Amino acid sequence: MALLKVDHVTHYFGGLCAVSDFNLLLKPHELLGIIGPNGAGKTTVFNIITGVYRPTEGSIYFNDIEIKDKTPDRITAMGIARTFQNIRLFNELTVLDNIAIAQYAKAAYSPVEALLHIGRYRREEQRIMERSQELLALFKLDGLAFEQSKNLPYGLQRRLEIVRALAAEPRVLLLDEPAAGMNPKEVDELMTFIGWIRKEFNLTIILIEHQMRLVMGICERLVVLDFGATIADGAPHEVQGNERVLTAYLGEKLKV
Amino acid sequence: MRGGLWLSETGGILRTWLLTKAWLLPLLLILGFAFSFAIPYYGLLDPYVQLILMYIGINIILALSLNLVNGYMGEFSVGHAGFMSIGAYISSILTVKVFSASSAAWLFPVAVIAGGAGAALLGLLVAIPSFRTRGDYLAIVTLAFNMIVKSVLENIDAVGGARGFLGMSKLTTLPLVFCWTVLSVWLIRNFIYSNYGRGVLAIREDEIAGELMSVNTRQVKLLAFTISSFFAGVAGGLFAHVLQFINPRMFDIVKSTDMLIMVYLGGIGSIGGSILGATIYTFLLEILRPLGIWRMVIMPLTLVLLMIFRPRGIMGLREFAWFLPKTARTNRLAQLRKEGEEWRS
């Protein structure tokens, strides 16, 4: 059974077709990569799945529930969390608050309890803070809990973004170019890291990436997009030799 | 450089001391309450000074209510005087026309709460355009709201129209203002340091990212606007019963601008900042009164200078340790101690 099913999704920006007839069946525990040239519509696919855009046509099912019309916060609360291509942390807030915000939907107390600091407030806040500290310790960020997130070095900001997404307790994690700006050694570390969180948090992962080293290294299946259309879908070694993929990346062969 | 080092270290020690002595705050509050009774009872201060103290209290509530929306949530409301006028009118109508003269005094808190509730209801309406519009556009929506409220009030003859509404007794007293101010600060502080408060901050920092991190931004905006307008209404009710006369022109864009000045002077996203901002602004206006029209040159000039040298206001995004709830206080203390060790090593 598919955990996530994207069914004939098409999305237009004005007259421009950003994604055309996109289909995806994601099995539990799969690690899927989406690759393609710049502007192929990869991030748009993420934005459609997470509810930022409502697709022009088609439907999306998560656990057999239609999520196309749900708001991003509902979708995240249901179990799809993501990171961003350009880091989007809550800059002025502390590392701890960044993590706590992602647990918004998990806190069970009413506005009245919040205003008066009574009832479930104390217990729930304590639980959220403990959980946040636990996560930070697990990812070796606990020494920086009260630092403003904008002051963290780039690599740690990337890591914090992933931890923040994990704080929402997702079943599906969407990573948008996690290796952007990393050198080969860091990419190797990231590969181990992704493998580890996948097992530790029992995740199904979709990642968008340009670095072939990462994509070929850990993805079990690849979907290749070009101009919004799927041009290949299969195991990394199959996709590697695909004629259309080579054309999309390198251009057509010169006819002599 | 050494001087700077010494300063920041003493600052750290002072802050640590204040943090560990947080029980002083309730003590100060009890003292303040006692004084707010004693001052009018024994005539310790000139009635004019007492009046200013009451305005300070009311302005603190106003500044904090606006800070919740503009400072913490990062939206831009420029029509908060509209909410204030609703509170002022509803509570005045209640004390003058509905309650009997003998019961008006002890039913006054009910009238103030009713005024706040009326304003909160309108706050809900203003929250709806904020779902879609932000920044400049929301500013225009709230500006329009302010104008609409004023014009509507000017055209209702039952409340005096443009001539205004009078007949209230002087029900707002110094101890009452003190209690309302403390209560408002406490409630807004609690809201900010809660799950919903974190949602408010997430909207300011990055609304889309907040939504994608499971923050129900619609719910948070509705709550923040409702709470903010409630307290603006409360301040309006208190204000009307100090002045004993209100007219729609008192609550126009100029009044809204006053509130903006208090918030940005004191500092966005800070309770301590709003208290400071409201206090300093109210005092300055009175102290500069002898200067006559020059007052309106000096005040804006101060603001321009402030924006150049301290664009986030006096306290921008920082908080007095005493206003933090217990867990946040312990965290702050741990951090200060850590920083202190780093300084020494």
Residue A159 included in any domain: no
Cβ B212–A52 below 8 Å, yes or no? Answer: yes
Distance from CA of B334 to the nearest CA of A (A): 9
Q: Does one domain contain both A179 and A63?
A: yes
Burial class (CB in 10 A: 0-12, 13-18, 19+), B127: buried
Confidence of residue B344 (pLDDT cuts 50, 70, 90): low
Task: Catalogue the E-assigned strands of B58-128.
Answer: none
Q: Does one domain contain both A140 and A97?
A: yes
Whether the predicted pLDDT of B216 surpasses 70: yes
Q: Does one domain contain both A72 and A177?
A: yes
How far is Cα B268 from Cα A249, in angstroms, rounded to an integer?
49
Q: Give ipTM to 2 decimals.
A: 0.93
How far is Cα B43 from Cα A256, in angstroms, rounded to an integer?
104
Q: In chain A, which residues have their Cβ closer than 8 Å to the Cβ of B202? A: 90, 93, 101, 104
For the record, the structure tokens of A72 come out as 């991003």
pLDDT of residue B1: 42
User: How many percent of chain A have pLDDT more than 90?
Assistant: 85
* φ, ψ for residue A147, nearest 5 deg: -85, 145
Residue A125 included in any domain: yes
Average pLDDT over residues A50-79: 95
Overall number of domains in chain A: 2
pLDDT of residue B78: 92
Cβ B214–A90 below 8 Å, yes or no? Answer: no
How far is Cα B143 from Cα A216, in angstroms, rounded to an integer?
56
Distance from CA of B250 to the nearest CA of A (A): 31
Residues spanned by the domain of A67: 4-79+170-250
Q: In chain A, which residues have their Cβ closer than 8 Å to the Cβ of B191? A: 111, 114-115
CA distances from B345 to B274, B331, B336, B342 (A): 37, 21, 14, 5
Q: 10 Å Cβ neighbour count for B40?
A: 16
Residue A56 included in any domain: yes
Does the global pTM surpass 0.90? Answer: yes
Kindly report the CATH class assigned to B22-323.
mainly alpha
Q: Does one domain contain both A75 and A183?
A: yes
Q: Does one domain contain both A140 and A208?
A: no
Whether the predicted pLDDT of B87 surpasses 60: yes
